[in-house]
Amino acid sequence: MHAQAPESAAPVAASTTTSSIASRAGLYRRVWRWHFYAGLICLPFLLLLAVTGALYLYKEPIESRVYAGLLQVEAGTAPTLDAESLVAAARRVVPGEAVRYIPPAGPGRSAEVGIRTMVGEMLSVYVDPATAQVLGSLRDERKLMEVVKQLHSLMIAGPVGNHLIEIVAGWAIVLVVTGVFLWWPRATATQAQAGLGGVLSVRGVPRQRLWWRDLHAVIGLYAAVFIVFLAVTGMPWSVFWGQQFGRISGELDIGLPKYLWGPGPSSTLPATSPSAPLEGLNAVPWTLERVPLPQSGTAPAPSVPEAHDHSKAHDHAPQATAVVDTEDEAVSIGLNKALRIFTAQGMPSGTPIRLPSGPQGVYTALSFPDDVRAERVLHLDRYTGAVLADVGYQDYGIAGRITEWGIAMHTGRQFGELNRLLMLAACLSIVALAASGLTMWWKRRPRGQFAAPQRRPGDRTTLGAVVAALLLGLFYPLLGLSMITALVVDALIGLVRWRKRRNAHLVP
């Protein structure tokens, strides 16, 4: 009996091994199908994100070259005129409400005045700081890099586009996870003979599909961490997940603690509301986007006007014609004094200034340097010059700090050129993955067929894959909804194929 045991056990062991291999093969085919469809759907959007993201990494040097005639002036010895005179000069050429002032970033650079025109357009007017000559203007939304940013986020397509980008970012994570699974070395005789070929190195020649397959796999392996990083750190800007994450982190006091604003009055409008006081600034820290802004106090009663000094009026005419338009502005401390206070408070030169909007508006200086740890936002009462709020990176909660650091890395600012080169390499890797994946599919497909990875009877998903998909779907709800949709579509496709096969068997 003992001698016969191995003989009777051998078929059982062989059957178990065969079943295990079939199960792994079924999982591989299912993951491959999901990877294929995810890549196919996301391909145009990922290419758009990669190209526009790579361009935006070099926003400043690109704009300096494209708009050299507006941004650069002759560096002379003449003293720089005061800010109010430059704002006045801009408003004489472009009538409207001045909402933003950006001092010259250095010698040989122009000053920028943001003006909302009578028809509601936002214009950037560039002024020579030595002569007050207006060099020209640009509509904010038509600036080259602003268009690139709108394309990158698909905000150019409205809320639908922004929701879509959030879904694509989620599927990019799915692509990486499934791609790593497909790449993962398996202990087969063929792969053992190949060594590291197809794992860490590329085999074959470009005319072969094997070369493109290995190129796709190896690039994906090296770029996987960076692609996931870009997808995750881009999520805070998204219209659904980003807003919910910001709201929850604020409520838990791990974004920006509420107590930072002190006992003073605060507005009911967040920083990024279209009519809010920070609307004219080009960039606002993510952590402060949804934070209510402080308000200036009540304007003091106007004093009895003194006798006119005609010599003084002549000397300061440019300021009087454009800055003082209302009673509130007449009793305001004025832009010149606000700039002196910001400088005394340690704000660096060239810091963008948001001018007060309405009787309770504030002067806001926003320092948004490359090093995220130096971020700082300062609000001044427009009537007294008192500091209403002074918030920096050190004041953020843990979620705010991590998010701001991730965004700074995402945009290539945190570690200078090395950071930009790493993010550029990630963007180029996405382009290479898209090109190699498309080429690989083109070489594999039978002529005239779509050639998606086929479903076979018995293909199942393991518990681990289900749990991973469930966790991703719960953490990113829009991704979860799209995954459910994909499952339904995949099931319907399988049902249609099954019915076709059954009908084919029934035909005599």
CA angle 363, 129, 57 (to 5 degrees): 70
Whether residue 409 is contained in a domain is answered as no
Could you tell me the CA-to-CA distances from 465 to 27, 326, 424, 471 in Å, in that order? 9, 65, 31, 10
On whether both 304 and 373 belong to a single domain, the answer is: yes
Q: Is the pLDDT of residue 460 over 70?
A: no
Q: How far apart are CA 334 and CA 490, in angstroms?
A: 64
Instruction: Name the phi and psi angles at 80, rounded to 5.
Output: -75, 135
The answer to whether residues 198 and 278 belong to one domain is: no
Instruction: Provide the H-helix boundaries in 121-271.
Output: 144-153, 159-183, 189-194, 209-234, 241-251
User: Are 155 and 105 contained in the same domain?
Assistant: no
Distance CA 212, CA 217 (A): 9
Pair (83, 46) in one structural domain: no
- Which of 142, 162, 182 is the C-terminal boundary of a domain? 142
Q: What percent of the chain is predicted at pLDDT more than 90?
A: 32
Q: Residue 490 domain-assigned?
A: yes
pTM for this model (two decimals): 0.78
CB atoms within 10 A of CB 379: 27
Tens of pLDDT, residue by residue over 276-328, are: 434 555 566 767 766 667 788 766 655 544 444 433 333 433 333 334 455 55
- Asked if the model's pLDDT at residue 497 lies above 50, the reply is yes
**Cβ-based neighbour number of residue 48 at 10 Å:** 15
Continuous segment of H or E residues that includes residue 269: strand 266-270
Angle at 188 between CA 182 and CA 192, to 5 degrees: 100
Phi, psi of 99 (to 5 degrees): -115, -15
What's the pLDDT score for residue 34?
79
Same domain (yes/no): 218, 305? no
Has residue 271 got a pLDDT over 50? no
What is the per-residue pLDDT for 298? 65
Q: Let me know if residue 455 belongs to a domain.
A: yes
Distance in angstroms (rounded) separating the CA atoms of residues 78 and 269: 42
Count: domains in the chain? 3
462 assigned to some structural domain: yes
Residue-level pLDDT at 205:
81
Q: Are residues 13 and 95 in the same domain?
A: no
Q: For residues 209, 212, 215 and 221, what is the CA-based torsion angle, rounded to 10 degrees?
A: -80
484 occurs within a structural domain: yes
C-alpha angle 466-471-476 in degrees, rounded to nearest 5:
125
Q: Which residue has the tokens 């001018």?
A: 355
Would you say 203 and 212 are in contact if contact means Cβ atoms under 8 Å apart? no
Rounded to an integer, what is the distance from CA 381 to the centroid of its chain? 32
Whether 378 and 282 map to the same domain: the answer is yes
Q: Are 335 and 111 in contact (CB under 8 A)?
A: no
Q: Are residues 218 and 287 in the same domain?
A: no
Same domain, 173 and 50: yes
| Same domain flag for 319 and 388 | yes
CA 444 → CA 9, 36, 448, 453, distances in Å? 41, 13, 12, 10
Residues 228 and 368 reside in one and the same domain: no
pLDDT tens digits, residue range 39-64? 887 888 999 999 999 999 999 999 99
| 407: in domain | no
Among candidates 391, 301, 306, 308, which has minimal Cα distance to 345? 391
Q: How far apart are CA 202 and CA 219, in angstroms?
A: 10
pLDDT higher than threshold 90 for residue 98: yes
Write down which residue in 142, 159, 174 finishes a domain: 142
Mean pLDDT of the 386-409 span: 89
pLDDT per residue over 399-446, tens digit each? 889 998 999 999 998 888 999 999 999 999 999 999 998 888 888 776
Full domain range(s) for residue 312: 258-396
Give the CATH number, domain containing residue 130.
Answer: 3.10.450
36 and 156 assigned to the same domain: yes
Residue 281: inside a domain, yes or no? yes
Compare 146 and 79 and report the one with higher pLDDT: 146
Tell me whether residue 247 is in a domain. Answer: no
What the block records as the tokens of 181 is: 């699974």
Query: Which of 396, 430, 445 finishes a domain?
Result: 396
Categorise residue 327: left if φ over 0, alpha if ψ from -120 to 50, beta otherwise: alpha
